[in-house]
Amino acid sequence: IVKTRVLRVGGMTCVSCQNKIEKKLKNTAGIISAEVSYNEGTANVTYDTDIISYKTIVGVIENLDYMVLTDQ
């Protein structure tokens, strides 16, 4: 099953943060597409639930030292 979720990400303080998170998400198995916005403070992630869980995606972002505040 393919799902898309929008996560609210805290801790991005410049556009390089956005690119760093986006690159990591795109290189993560099971994530089909990822768009991170520094301006919006969001990560829009489309993923295959057979391969990766939502919790694992949250963990990928947190391991880069950003916070997932809520999802919308």
Task: Give the x-and-dash track for 2-21 against ligand 9UX (CB under 6 A).
Answer: -----------xx-xx--x-
Dig out the tokens for 22 from the structure: 């986006």
The CA distance from 49 to 69, in Å, is 21
Q: Is 63 in the site for ligand 9UX (CB under 6 A)?
A: no
> Based on CB atoms, which residue is closest to ligand 9UX, 19 or 33?
19
Beta bridge partners of 36: 43
Q: Which two tokens stand for residue 72?
A: 């919308």
Name the residues that contact ligand 9UX, by CB under 6 A. Answer: 13-14, 16-17, 20
